[in-house]
Structure 1
Amino acid sequence: MLRKHAVARRRKGHSGGSLLASVFVAAACMIGAAQAAETDYTVNPGDVLQITVWKEDGLDREVLVLPDGKISFPLVGDINARGCTALQIRDEVKARLESMIRDPYVTVSVKAALGNVVNVIGQVAKPGEQIVGRRVTVMQALSQAGGLTPYASESRIIVIRRDGDRQVAIPFPYDDVVRGESLDQDIVLAPGDVVVVPTASLF
């Protein structure tokens, strides 16, 4: 009987340890995903950055990315932040401070990704502008718009994207993606993209 209780306790302890390990693994995955998003995301006008220089009074502040894509920070001046990652901006701030501060420890994070705006128009439940944060695909944007209405033409959905001085229309194979096919066509939307969901033909 004592041996049975001992075995039961060991099994219970092993189960608890496995559960705890699973929790740690899940937490690590979430942290890794957040770090990856922070690494990959490129800054847009309208975003808010948090820039901190450790142990330096007055060098810890929120910075708005201006419409021209620039930010301004004390002792550093103006930096062109548009299209840069937080890590690239950190490196630039650090490089400019090194002549004034010995071994500056700089952190830069995207506090609010307010500049990453797309539009979903046409036959969706909630058409309009979306502030989508860091990365969002066409399917995610359609989901945030409440999904397609019964009148949507699933085969004629397009993404309108500005490419320099011109606009390009990118077809989106909705039916294929829903079936789990052509998943590489579920592209990440760029700031300013417009997802157009036309009305299906009645005939």
Structure 2
Amino acid sequence: MNSLKLKVFLFVCMFFAVASSGAFAQITDKGGYKLGPEDVVEISVWGDEELAREVVVRPDGGVSFPLVGDLKAGGLTIDQLREEVRKRIVEYVPDAAVTVILRKVENPKIYVMGKVQSPKMIVMGQEMTVVQALAVAGGLSNFADSGNIVVVRRFPDGKQKVFEFDYDEFASGDKLEQNILLMPGDTVVVP
């Protein structure tokens, strides 16, 4: 691949990755989004200002709400959380009209570190590949070892797996399968 084709290919990859990153804030429960730690939801009962709160999903997945107490929100969709609050509050407020609104998405997250223009934590609002994450982090720095990028994935049992990513091979159109979909908690390391 000559130099001009390579530059065009890299520009197109970065353009689509950055353009699609604008969708991060467009998450709704319509796509089946499941709440996770640090997400912010507003729960309210129509007609009762005392029963309106913004709550943050705790690291254990729980939230607290008046008359309801603690309940599990992590792993639930907005509709499921609304129904759970309604079931628990109906004892105190018959025919309660419960509203749950996703105010801020803070989960799931990935991390890009090392020799990129802007190392950062990225909130994934949609599926994201290694190249897209690198684009969101501003691309590789001039001193990056682009042939030895790794993705570190930690599993719930504490074990880790490392996936190798050679940016140079990918950019030349070889070994495209190494541009894997990232999973929540993954760390992309650029040496």
Measured after TM superposition, the shift of residue 38 of structure 1 is 5.4
SS in structure 2 opposite 1:58? strand
1:73 aligns with 2:41: no
Q: 1:125 aligns with which of 104, 109, 117?
A: 117
1:170 aligns with 2:148: no
1:95 aligns with 2:87: yes
Q: Give the direction of change, closer, same or farther, for the CA distance of 1:179–1:101 in structure 2 (3 Å limit).
A: farther
Rounded to whole Å, the distance in 1 between the matches of 2:67 and 2:172 is: 51
Q: Which runs of 5+ in 2 are unaligned?
A: 1-24
Q: 1:142 aligns with which of 126, 131, 134?
A: 134
Asked if the contact 2:27/2:33 (under 8 Å) is kept, the reply is no
Measured after TM superposition, the shift of residue 51 of structure 1 is 1.1
Higher relative contact order, structure no. (Cα contacts within 8 Å, ≥ 6 residues apart)? 2
Larger helix fraction of residues: 1
Measured after TM superposition, the shift of residue 179 of structure 1 is 5.1
1:187 aligns with 2:181: yes
- State, as a whole percentage, how many aligned pairs show the same letter: 38
Rounded to whole Å, the distance in 2 between the matches of 1:53 and 1:80 is: 18
Asked if the contact 2:27/2:105 (under 8 Å) is kept, the reply is no
Q: TM-score, normalised by structure 1?
A: 0.65
Q: TM-score, normalised by structure 2?
A: 0.68
Asked if the contact 1:71/1:81 (under 8 Å) is kept, the reply is yes
Measured after TM superposition, the shift of residue 89 of structure 1 is 1.4
Asked if the contact 1:118/1:130 (under 8 Å) is kept, the reply is yes
Measured after TM superposition, the shift of residue 157 of structure 1 is 2.8
RMSD: 3.1
Q: Give the direction of change, closer, same or farther, for the CA distance of 1:44–1:121 in structure 2 (3 Å limit).
A: same
Deviation digits for residues 126-171 of structure 1 (CA, Å, limit 9, x no counterpart): 12x3242533513332122111124434444332222112222234
